[in-house]
Structure 1
Amino acid sequence: MPSIESHENVLILSELWTIAMHHPDDPQLPSLGIFASMAALIQKAIKSPSWLLHDQNIYIPYYAAHVIGSYTMNKPEFAEQAVESGVIPPLLDLLGGKISWVEQRVAVRALGHLASYQATFEAVAVYEREVVELAMELACSAADVVYKEFVGVKDGALRLKYHCDLLTRGVGGSEMEERKAEEWAGQVQCWSLYLLNCFASKERSITLICSRVGFLERLSKMWGGVANHSSPAGIGLIRILCYYKAGRKKIAESEQVIRSLCNISRSSDDWQYMGIDCLVLLLRDRETRYRVMELASLCLVDLVEVKNLGHYRSNVGETVAEALLLDYKLQWKVQQLKGNERVEKRLEEVWSLKVGRRKKERTMSKERLEERKVLAMLIKQQAKRFFVVGEVEEAMAKYGEALETCPLRFRKERMCLYGDRAECRWVVGDVDGAISDSTRAISLSSTADGNRSLWRRAKGYEMKGMAKECLMDCIMYVSGCVKMERRRGVGVIPYDAVHLMSKMMDATWLFAAAKSAKADELLVKDDENGELEEIVMRMVMETKGDISLSGDVGEGLSTIVEEEPSGKEYLSRRKLARPRTGKKKPQSL
């Protein structure tokens, strides 16, 4: 194929791509030299722009790189054949942006597969610095580039035709193109981070990744999105960095990253446990412990009574409490010297919950424990009366007294007390306190029981401008409402929840920052030309149709699935968190 000039090459290559996608483990084509052929086609396209633009040759580099990625997806022996056939240099050319972002997407995917095998990692690592720097740049710029070069080009006739064709396979108009472009931009970012994971998990390029100005801060904001539910995105790489001393040191120096870890630890995100893992690792390291103690303790103290986080972690609260109380007496002394009363109070509270009260209650009889529960419920009634008559401060104090009285084993009763106190904090304007108490209620609850607390916390996150955390809580709240409706046969999804979720989807849209930057640029430009009013009206009209939320929570969200029909393409969370060495790989992020 590389030596034959034929307009049918594209059709042949497209068919080879289809075969590779459907039968990636079939050895027939790899044995016939398909890797050498694909590498030669990519090199020909890069070295001969005139050939690339002839007939339909513009499609060839994309299909060629995709074929390489598909065949190296599952089998390490195919990956070794690919490396021996010289695929890495041409893939690096595509990764460096020699053609466009569409080819970068498939190049970073293929390199990620090659880097994940022990047998072929070193071949990729020969170009370590170049690969790592390109992957970091791509992870940071993917959304901006795709928006600027494609999504933001509202006149469909001005978009590159072959991009449109590859995105939609000729089906659907501009709306479909934009949905697929968003999906692909997310994949570019996630695969770039996966490639970085392959190096970081082997303790390679840690310093390079951490020393790039602003990268860790940007990394902490990369979350994969609702559509990329199988990718831990930025938090996955941060956790790997936290396994190593050099990584922990750099992360502990960034207050923004620590705050992001705290936010994800107190959220409904699927990767909540990764945020907790990171903070625990930082607290266990004596060199980073005191740098992160204030922010981490204010967050983690709300999680010391969590039992399990889905199927991923058990005894989470015990692990968190152990990390917080490590060298408790020494910690107490250090914090006293710093005069940090908030941290002192929180550590004392953890000590009381996990050690003091637990010991005391173990010596009590069942009858005595029941008596204390009844007393706590009586105090709760007093608190309610105070709240009804508007004496909110007194009600908060009574709820606190009831929580001190109610034995730890009565989790449901204590969940309700925390939820009621969170409501009081809302009334007096203590948003942080309401979020804290709501989190504690959620930690003590089942999903259904904690639904009201999820809604309270979602509203708190909205007030603090934490759009991602608000969105995840909204999704969990709506999901709880749906389950309740199915179980009881009553209830509806509140309009306020759907409206807030739609609003947060706008705020967390992958292209939100890029669109805002472009709008600012256009406003400044047209203001100089005296046409400010016209551009404002045009931007407003364009904004109205960008994202909408139908009655179905998931409808309208792009998926992360590629074109192949099989259901094996999703990466499992554990597999993506730490790259594999020789096991089967998924088709796409």
Structure 2
Amino acid sequence: MSCTNPTCFFCIMKEPNLLIRRAGIKKCFKEIPSINEQERVLILSSLWNIAMTQPEDPEFPSLGIFKCMVSLLHKSINDKPWLLDGQNVYIPYYAAHIVGSYTMNRFEFAEKAVESGVILPLLDLMRGKMSWLEQRVAVRALGHLASYDSTFEAVAVYEEEVVKLAMGLASSCGEVVYNEFVALKDENKRVEYHKNLITRGAGGLEMENRKAEEWASQIQCWSLHLLNCFAIRGRSIDLICNKEFLKDLSSMWGGYVNHTSPAGVGMIRILCYTRVGRTRVSESKEVIESICNLSRSSDDWQYMGIDCLLLLLHDLNTRYKVLEIVSFYLFDLVELRKLGERSKLGQKITRALLIDFKNRKSRIKNPEVERRLKEIWVSKVDRNRREILMSDEKLEEKRVLVSLIKQAANHSFWLGEIETAVVKYTEGIKLCPTRLRKERIVLHSNRAQCYLLLNNPDAAISDTTRALSISNPANSHAKSLWRRSQAYYIKGMAKESLMDCLMFIKAFVTADKKKHAKIPYYAVHMIRKLMDSTWFFASAKSKLSNNCTSNLDASSSSDPGRSKEELTNDELLIRRAINENKHLMSGLYTILEEPVIRKVSQATRRKVYRYRRRKNTSMARSI
């Protein structure tokens, strides 16, 4: 059917004459706020799609699209009856999204948007004048505007409020989205236009939950990006370094797509470039431990954690506040060669730890820290000097001796003499030259397996981290990844355990030459157990469950006569969910470094016997 509306946007878009088309679009932008609401939403939806697919096309920004969006946003925020009329409720979301898409890559578009007055209505949405859905697109758009030097100051006029709002969103978005949307199992209780925007009319409850998780994560990432725009310019550092917010930052996982603000640790690293930031970070033991755990993980942001620790160690005002904790973790990373494009990380870590080790005026008073630093000095300085002069013949002799010790340790392990195996692996590690990297990887990894069986996860994490630091590339030794994943699981560190498990699967599949490598069942089982703990809404779900439990306990105490049969179905479901999500440990899975040898060969027995006799003879001579 032919269109009879002379100002129809869709007909104007088909106009072949460029001048007539541009004039029609410009006129349409002025008239959009006053046209039929159904047609208006269709136009906004179409403009949203164009802005998403062609964000650098200058046509619409030059014809007044930003003024049109500002007008619609003001009307949506200030005229509630108009907003609730028909489909107008979709308009603020589309309008803010269009602004964010066009200002994403072009500073000249951002300047036009600021001139058109987009900041105030976006700030209103960010304040929560509507819902979390509009907050998502508002913080995205403001983050883009704050990215450019030419438009940053326009956002910074409201600096304190913007920073506080972004901090609040980053910390609470998971809880808000979960409580207001995901936790509502009854589809009729969920806001209809939220469901429509999230799924675009396709998909049921599962799809809605998946998209809600993705969008909640985006709120957090874009909020951090907005904060990053201030922090990177040295603005509002004292405000951002709030003690509670720093704790929240250290637990934020995932990051902005273009890596300019990789999760909470990216924000912490930027803060650590400032004196105030380093001081505040060093004062929080929880934050330091979180960064340390990241530095000993296979997370993509591992290097960020190491950077933060190095910055703290190089500052004499914070060095001695964190050295006791940091040295314990970095001790395992002194042989780390390369992470991505960053090389010689182990050398940088060694230098940072040993800055004042030989200084008589050193402020190191903790004997355990001194012991660690001395061990680093011996292994990285003294030992290296000696091994440089070692001949090839002597190196080969050491290799044979280490091999014999390893076989003896393996034999003890299979006999169930785990403590004895640990002693022998330790002996092999001390004797093994640093150049024999493969042998040392095996020794550390096998000793870690012993520590797992002895229920010493900390020692297992330390050994596997050393093995993974030596491996080339770093974090590629499959068995060490699996063992560290188990150790982290024992300690209840689900995020670190999951990352190692995923890296183990990647290493396992890569190492398998077959085209269709079968992922080990135990790794799949581990991931299934860890997914709930690492779910974006895990904390929000736990808080809601705890609140429900406390309410149930209060109601039970007020009415002690209520029996289990009298509880409502909802209460029973909540209690069942709480019981099902208790942290239960199943048995450890064992992956062996070498093939199982049920029967020790006669040749192996002779080698072990000769080694023991030689060792006893040398001990007798020394006595």
Normalising by structure 1, report the TM-score. Answer: 0.88
Matched, 1:459 2:490: no
Deviation at 1:461, TM superposition (A): 0.5
SS in 2 for 1:328: coil
Take 1:85 and 1:38, find their aligned partners in 2: how far apart are those partners? 9
Provide Cα deviations, 1:264-288, integer angstroms capped at 9, x if missing partner: 1011111000000000110011000
Q: Which residue is 2:368 aligned to?
A: 342
4+ long deviations beyond 6 Å: 225-231, 540-546
Matched, 1:205 2:236: yes
Deviation at 1:124, TM superposition (A): 0.8
Q: Which residue is 1:584 aligned to?
A: none
Q: Which residue is 1:519 aligned to?
A: 545
Query: How do 1:64-79 and structure 2 match up within 5 A?
Result: 64-79=95-110
Deviation at 1:492, TM superposition (A): 3.3
Deviation at 1:489, TM superposition (A): 6.1
Q: Which residue is 2:9 aligned to?
A: none
Mapped contact 2:269–2:308 kept (Cα < 8 A): yes
Q: Which residue is 2:418 aligned to?
A: 392
Query: How do 1:358-369 and structure 2 match up within 5 A?
Result: 358-369=384-395
**What amino acid sits opposite 2:382 in the alignment?**
G
User: Structure 1 401/226 Cα, relative in aligned 2: closer, same or farther at 3 Å?
Assistant: farther
**What amino acid sits opposite 2:356 in the alignment?**
D
Mapped contact 1:183–1:227 kept (Cα < 8 A): no
Q: Which residue is 2:308 aligned to?
A: 278
Take 2:203 and 2:86, find their aligned partners in 1: how far apart are those partners? 24
Aligned equivalent of 1:287, options 306, 317, 324? 317
Q: Which residue is 1:239 aligned to?
A: 269
Point out which structure has higher relative CO (alpha carbons under 8 A, 6+ apart).
1
Q: Which residue is 1:576 aligned to?
A: none
Q: Which residue is 2:499 aligned to?
A: 472
**What amino acid sits opposite 2:271 in the alignment?**
L
User: Structure 1 11/498 Cα, relative in aligned 2: closer, same or farther at 3 Å?
Assistant: same
Mapped contact 1:373–1:405 kept (Cα < 8 A): no
**What amino acid sits opposite 2:323 in the alignment?**
M
Q: Which residue is 2:163 aligned to?
A: 132
Take 2:65 and 2:362, find their aligned partners in 1: how far apart are those partners? 66
Q: Which residue is 2:222 aligned to?
A: 191
Aligned equivalent of 1:106, options 128, 137, 141? 137
Q: Which residue is 2:342 aligned to?
A: 313
Query: How do 1:89-100 and structure 2 match up within 5 A?
Result: 89-100=120-131
**What amino acid sits opposite 1:456 in the alignment?**
R
Aligned equivalent of 1:510, options 536, 541, 550? 536
- In structure 2, stretches of 5+ residues that fail to align are 1-30, 557-561, 582-623
Q: Which residue is 1:555 aligned to?
A: none
Mapped contact 1:441–1:450 kept (Cα < 8 A): yes
Take 2:411 and 2:509, find their aligned partners in 1: how far apart are those partners? 32
Provide Cα deviations, 1:78-132, integer angstroms capped at 9, x if missing partner: 0111111111111100011000000000000001111111111111111110100
Provide Cα deviations, 1:519-557, integer angstroms capped at 9, x if missing partner: 2222333340646574453236779999xxxxxxxxxxx
Mapped contact 1:97–1:104 kept (Cα < 8 A): yes
Take 1:357 and 1:511, find their aligned partners in 2: how far apart are those partners? 49
Deviation at 1:34, TM superposition (A): 0.8
User: Structure 1 435/496 Cα, relative in aligned 2: closer, same or farther at 3 Å?
Assistant: same
**What amino acid sits opposite 2:541 in the alignment?**
K
Q: Which residue is 1:375 aligned to?
A: 401
User: Structure 1 456/260 Cα, relative in aligned 2: closer, same or farther at 3 Å?
Assistant: same
Q: Which residue is 2:603 aligned to?
A: none
Equivalent residue pairs, number: 540
Mapped contact 1:523–1:532 kept (Cα < 8 A): no
User: Structure 1 108/449 Cα, relative in aligned 2: closer, same or farther at 3 Å?
Assistant: closer
Deviation at 1:173, TM superposition (A): 1.0
Take 2:360 and 2:443, find their aligned partners in 1: how far apart are those partners? 30
User: Structure 1 541/429 Cα, relative in aligned 2: closer, same or farther at 3 Å?
Assistant: closer
Take 1:79 and 1:229, find their aligned partners in 2: how far apart are those partners? 21
Take 1:388 and 1:510, find their aligned partners in 2: how far apart are those partners? 42
Take 1:231 and 1:161, find their aligned partners in 2: how far apart are those partners? 33
**What amino acid sits opposite 2:383 in the alignment?**
R
User: Structure 1 225/196 Cα, relative in aligned 2: closer, same or farther at 3 Å?
Assistant: closer
Aligned equivalent of 1:326, options 346, 355, 365? 355
CA RMSD of aligned residues (A): 2.3
**What amino acid sits opposite 2:92 in the alignment?**
P
Give identity over the alignment, percent: 56
Take 1:277 and 1:402, find their aligned partners in 2: how far apart are those partners? 32
Q: Which residue is 2:44 aligned to?
A: 13
**What amino acid sits opposite 2:483 in the alignment?**
R
Provide Cα deviations, 1:13-70, integer angstroms capped at 9, x if missing partner: 1111111111111111001111111111111111111111011110000000000000
Mapped contact 1:224–1:231 kept (Cα < 8 A): no
User: Structure 1 401/544 Cα, relative in aligned 2: closer, same or farther at 3 Å?
Assistant: closer
Q: Which residue is 1:583 aligned to?
A: none
Deviation at 1:468, TM superposition (A): 0.3
Query: How do 1:242-281 and structure 2 match up within 5 A?
Result: 242-281=272-311
Mapped contact 2:261–2:267 kept (Cα < 8 A): no
Provide Cα deviations, 1:345-385, integer angstroms capped at 9, x if missing partner: 21112112221111111112222222222222222223223
**What amino acid sits opposite 1:236 in the alignment?**
G
Q: Which residue is 1:552 aligned to?
A: none
User: Structure 1 470/225 Cα, relative in aligned 2: closer, same or farther at 3 Å?
Assistant: farther
User: Structure 1 411/126 Cα, relative in aligned 2: closer, same or farther at 3 Å?
Assistant: same
SS in 2 for 1:330: coil
